[in-house]
Amino acid sequence: MSEIKIIVNGVECVGQQGETILQIAERGGIHIPTLCHNENVKHYGACGVCVVEAEKSPKLLRSCSTLASDGMVINTESKRVVQARKVALELLMSDHDGDCRGPCVLNCPAGTDCQLYVKQIALGDYHGAVETIKEKLPLPASIGRVCPHPCETACRRKMVEEPISIAFLKAFAGDKDLASANPFKPEIAADTGKSVGIIGGGPAGLTAAYFLRKNGHAVTIYEAMPKLGGMLRYGIPEYRLPKAVLDAEIQAIADMGVEMKADFRIGVDATFEDIRAKHDATVVAIGAWKSMGTGVAGEDLEGVWGGINLLEKIALGERPYLGEKVAVVGGGNTAMDACRSAVRLGAKEVSIIYRRTVDEMPAEKIEIQEAMEEGVNFRILRNPAEIIGENGKVTAMKLQVMELGEPDASGRRSPRAVEGQFEILPVDTVINAIGQKVMPVGFEALELNKKGIIAADETTFRTNLPDVFAVGDATNRGADIAIAAIGEANKAAAVIDSYLKGAIVGYRKPYLSEREVTPEMLTAYQKQARAKMPHKAPAERIKDFNEMNYGFTEEQAQAEAKRCLECGCHDYYNCTLIKHVGKYDVHPERFVGEKRMTTSDESLVCIERNEGKCILCGLCVRTCDEVAGKGILGLIGRGFTTVVKSEFRDPAVIADCINCRKCAEACPTGAMKILK
């Protein structure tokens, strides 16, 4: 064969006559996406993803099946090519019925691969589970204890009976790792010579530090409090999160080479500008530390606390006397922490004041249940009207009786006052736990939004200062759960890494295929009770602030993990289709129509075939025929009804199929799963 030369994207590539454009381009280091091509079988050109534009050619060419000719000038990423690829991928995805990721992963604000680490726990691979978790968050033992687990809210196992105990399994794996002789340590890239200053050592700041250091940057955290941990330390009581556990996880981050400066206050020890001048990039992760008031008369009386302020005092080792009668205003997790802490501080009568009903409370249901077990009174459909006092000290609360009206924007029924109906509640202490505010003192150079919160771009996390980024409770939407701050910090770390390398790349949510599942589709699964977390009896646990949960045993953890339905695609990390889709901004909804019914077929004995994930590229059929030499598979039907079917002509072929599996190895999607 004679040598030929073609120009691909301005680069001269050398090939042989009889080779395709794709073969020559790939040898020249230029990647052209394709789904139906495999070097082991004949050229096919079915998927339409590998199209390229040739100079002087009126139509696009399929590079995997078009033979190259000497002097060709090829463009693999022209506007016309990209548009054609997008359409091809959109058409494929519009008929693709499968879950790229399980709903647990999709509903986790940090994008943790819950499905994978739960499976690793089921297999007893605790080290691997922690490695999986730490790809997204560096504090598994701590977060597993306190996260309100939106992953479990989405878990499809609840359609069978109850969701998987994903959060407690995370804590289990984290504890196992901390106690092991060889705890997981991330691989750290070579030093880049760049440095990042992070102001705030809470979950967002620690997460940003972890991933930026992992990428080889020098990182220093500046923390105003005596110890790092933010609200994990000062906003969550010891009985839920032992600080020895948090300390151990923070130490693991310090051991990576992250410098940590506690008791460091902006405006006292250095100015914001001093920090900026010292680093190539600065991250503001100062949280929201000021408790919001109710705005009623009497809030300036002695005995009125902010929920966060009280929890902070307790975390610092103080045990303030609250009197015998305590009222906590609010219905969130901070309110539950405050009322349960008040019980442990010796209050005899603790009441939650909430303007809606228990069903509308945003607090985690288990927190509400445990508060009730500990004797907290729930005075629902009540709202503070006035705080009453004598000699400057709280003595009572005047409560407005409420009723529920129409649903508000959140879907909860709006509370409204019942005219003329009030109650007087004698109290010694009032604790406001209705929300938190940012205190941006010392950061006057940063632009704030209308709510007084630091404004940051939602894709780059950049503030109005080009070298300053902001994450967590101090930005945009304000205070949220810790896992949300962690997820944001993880994404921001990737953006900051790109900024430090010279070209900032904003975060873009990846396109993922999702399917709708109903309880009727899961009736074949046997009911298995969710593992119950062993814990102290209420009368015992209210005596002190020691951790109340005992944790899962290995037997409990593995049994619970084995309840997982494994909803997400088994081949997600190797799926060629989703890799191509992720590169192009696809919108399959443009081609909405009736999808093929998802059916699974195990007639190949060792392989499960999922028709809903099949893109009819023909690779399995051609591989079975041309490579395995069996011809067991074939394309049956025409048009939208086409499917891949198997045909065993004699029983002896089954044995050959079990030992072959080449069709599954060639499949570019998760349509073929090796069973054994």
For residue 87, give the CATH number of its domain: 3.10.20.740
Quick one: pLDDT band at residue 650, thresholds 50, 70, 90?
low
Q: How far apart (Å, rounded) are the C-alpha atoms in residues 370 and 491?
A: 34
Q: pTM of whole model > 0.85?
A: yes
Which stretch of DSSP H or E encloses residue 554?
Answer: helix 554-561
Query: Looking at the 3D structure of the chain, how many domains does it have?
Result: 5
pLDDT of residue 257: 98
Q: What pLDDT is stored for residue 598 in this prediction?
A: 66
Q: Which residues contact 466 (CB under 8 A, 6 or more apart)?
A: none
Q: Taking all residues of the chain, what is their mean pLDDT, rounded to a whole number?
A: 93
Residue 541: pLDDT over 80: yes
Neighbours of 211 (CB within 10 A): 24
* Over residues 4-30, mean pLDDT: 94
| CATH assignment at residue 646 | 3.30.70.20
* Mean pLDDT lowest among 168-177, 235-244, 449-458, 484-493: 449-458
Q: Decide: helix, strand or coil at residue 168.
A: helix
Stated as kind and residue range, the H or E segment containing 46 is none
CA dist 388 → 320, 362, 601 (Å): 21, 28, 71
Q: Is residue 578 part of a domain?
A: no
- Dump the DSSP string for 444-471: TTS-B-TTS-B---TTT-B-SSTTEEE-
* Whole-angstrom distance, CA of residue 102 vs CA of residue 401: 44
- Could you tell me the two tokens for 499? 């900024």
Measured in whole angstroms, the distance separating CA 201 from the mean position of its chain's CA atoms is 20
Would you say residue 494 lies in a domain? yes
Residue with tokens 């011809």: 631
Residues 312 and 415 in one domain: yes
Asked if residue 358 belongs to a domain, the reply is: yes
Amino acid letter, 285: A
pLDDT at residue 550, rounded to an integer:
97
Q: How far from chain centre, in Å, is Cα 638?
A: 41
Residue 559 pLDDT: 97
Alpha-helix runs per DSSP H in 18-78: 21-27
pLDDT of 274-326, one tens digit each? 999 999 999 999 999 989 999 999 999 999 999 999 999 999 999 999 999 99
Range of the domain at 415: 293-436
Q: Are residues 418 and 299 in the same domain?
A: yes
The rounded distance, in Å, linking the Cα atoms of 576 and 570 is 13
Q: How confident is the model at residue 647 (pLDDT cuts 50, 70, 90)?
A: low
Give me the mean pLDDT over the 351-374 stretch: 95
Sheet holding 607-610, edge to edge: 600-601, 607-610, 672-674
Cα-Cα-Cα-Cα torsion 233, 235, 240, 242, nearest 10 degrees, comes to: 20
Evaluate if residue 408 carries a pLDDT over 80.
no
If you average pLDDT over residues 561-567, what whole number do you get? 96
CATH classification at residue 108 = 1.10.1060.10
- If asked whether residues 62 and 136 sit together in one domain, one would say no
Q: How many CB atoms lie within 10 A of CB 379?
A: 16
Same-domain pairing of 387 and 490: no
Residue 451 has pLDDT above 90, yes or no: no
| Confidence category of residue 633, pLDDT binned at 50, 70, 90 | confident
pLDDT tens for each residue of 65-87: 999 999 999 999 999 999 999 99
Span 390-417, average pLDDT: 90
Can you tell me the distance from the alpha carbon of 230 to that of 211, in angstroms, rounded to the nearest whole number?
A: 18
| pLDDT of amino acid 611 | 85
In a domain, 566, yes or no: no
Tokens of 372: 């009730």
Same domain, 419 and 326: yes
Residue 46 maps to a domain:
yes
Q: What is the CATH number of the domain that holds 264?
A: 3.50.50.60
194 neighbors 281 (Cβ within 8 angstroms): yes
User: What's the one-letter identity of residue 207?
Assistant: T
State whether 299 and 429 are in the same domain.
Answer: yes
Residue where one domain finishes, among candidates 94, 127, 146: 94
In the predicted structure, residue 605 carries a pLDDT above the cut 90? no
pLDDT (mean) for 386-398:
97
Q: Which single residue is written with the structure tokens 């079975």?
A: 624
Select the more confidently predicted residue: 190 or 648: 190
Query: Distance of CA 537 to CAs 241, 283, 370, 548, Å?
Result: 18, 43, 10, 8
**Do residues 428 and 311 share a domain?**
yes
Query: Residue 424: beta bridge partners?
Result: 398
Strand partners, 350: 326
pLDDT digits (tens, 9 = 90+) for 21-69: 999 999 999 999 999 888 888 888 788 899 999 998 999 999 999 999 9
Q: Say whether both 456 and 372 belong to one domain.
A: no
Nearest Cα to Cα of residue 648 among 602, 615, 610, 617: 602
Report, as an integer, the average pLDDT of 486-498. 98
Residue 80 counted as domain residue? yes
pLDDT at 556 over 70: yes
Average pLDDT, stretch 643-669?
78
**Are residues 637 and 665 both part of a single domain?**
yes
Of the candidates 94, 114, 144, which is a domain's last residue? 94
Instruction: Give me the pLDDT at residue 34, please.
Output: 93
Residue 548, pLDDT score: 97
Is 190 a member of any domain? no
Contact call for residues 555 and 531 (beta carbons, < 8 A): no
Task: Take residue 195 and report the two structure tokens written for it.
Answer: 């440095």
Q: Residues near 144 by Cβ (< 8 Å), separated by ≥ 6? A: 167, 168, 169, 170, 171, 172, 173, 174
C-alpha span between 357 and 375 (Å, rounded) = 18
The answer on 351 and 443 residing in a single domain is no
Asked, for residue 328, whether it belongs to a domain, the answer is yes
665 and 606 co-located in one domain: yes
Give alpha helix (H) positions in 405-449.
none
Residue range 533-552: mean pLDDT, rounded: 97
Q: Which of 59, 94, 129 is the last residue of a domain?
A: 94
pLDDT at 607: 83
Q: What 3-state class would DSSP assign to 521?
A: helix
In this predicted structure, the answer to whether residue 448 has a pLDDT above a threshold of 90 is yes
**Average pLDDT, integer, range 458-482:** 94
Q: Give the count of alpha carbons within 13 A of 559, CB side only.
A: 11
Q: Given this model, what pLDDT does residue 411 score?
A: 77
Residues 492 and 362 in one domain: no
**CA separation for the pair 364, 332 (Å, rounded):** 8
